[in-house]
Amino acid sequence: MKAAIERSNKSNKRSQALKGILEKQGIEHTPEDPIKGMIEIAGQTSSSRMVNFGTEIINKSASSAASIPQSIALFHGLIDKELGRAATGLGIDKAELKAWIDLQIEVPAKTILTLLRMMQTLRLDPLCEEISFIQYEDGRWQVLITIEGCSKLLNQHPQFNGLVFTQAEALIDGVPEWIECSIYLKDRAIPTTVREYLTEVRGENAIWQKMPRRMLRHRALQQCVRLVIAKVL
């Protein structure tokens, strides 16, 4: 029940944020029957377009169709602003960083914006392969802190006090069933420990076939670093 309430609250917050963006662009919104709105979308009405955000319907007339490219321009403006800040903060040439970003043609703009902001927060350089993108089987994109990035974050952190890997005795095709990573911080009584299971993270690409133990160890380290960074930021 609690999880359902939290998901509902998050959904409402996203809806309000999206509604706010549309309001700034002069698009009116009125609560209507969501079923009616979905029927009008399916019917491809010529007079209006109905956009469904949560339980509210945003009625957008044909004359406001220009707002779509305006929204795209707004997003790209945010990316350009964050790109300049990230380049300045890390001492990177802005043109080089922009060239790298431009190569990520399949990555959604929202994910690119997330990476640029994480660059500034964590001071990770994508040109040195410290932070990048990963696409999952369902097509979803996410920012990835690479092994190089994890190593940099740990070794530069003043409270870092070492790490230990532990692996299962049971094997799957000669590879440990799981590997644990424990990261110790000087200001914490117990380490942060994460266990990753081979069957859950094993990939089909060549590097997984060639070095499965190393890749499993990398996954454990990356997930453990994510928890540690979340605690100390």
Tell me the domain boundaries of the chain: 2-65, 68-127, 149-232
Residue 231 has a pLDDT of 59
What's the maximum distance between 2 C-alpha atoms anywhere in the chain?
66
Looking at the DSSP bridge assignments, the partners of residue 20 are none
Looking at the DSSP bridge assignments, the partners of residue 194 are 181
Q: Is the pLDDT score of 116 beyond 90? A: yes
Residue 25 has a pLDDT of 42
Q: Tokens 């044909």 label which residue?
A: 62
The whole-number average pLDDT for the span 147-174 is 95
Cα distance between residue 229 and residue 157, in whole Å: 10
The 8-class DSSP code of residue 46 comes to: S
pTM confidence score = 0.63
Vertex 195, ends 227 and 6: CA angle to 5°?
50
Mean per-residue pLDDT of the chain: 77
Which of 134-148, 159-173, 186-200 has the least mean pLDDT? Answer: 134-148
Beta strands in the chain (DSSP E): 48-53, 56-61, 131-135, 141-145, 160-167, 171-172, 175-176, 178-185, 192-197
Tell me the per-residue pLDDT of 54-110, one tens digit each, with 9 for 90 and over.
444 344 444 455 555 676 777 778 888 999 999 999 999 999 999 999 898 899 888
Cα distance between residue 139 and residue 130, in whole Å: 22
- CA distances from residue 224 to 155, 210, 230 in whole angstroms, order as listed: 14, 24, 10
Residue 197 has a pLDDT of 98
CB 76 within 8 A of CB 84: no
Length of the chain: 233
CA 145 to chain centre: 10
In our burial notation (b when 16+ CB lie closer than 10 A, e otherwise), range 193-206 reads bbbbbbeebbeeee
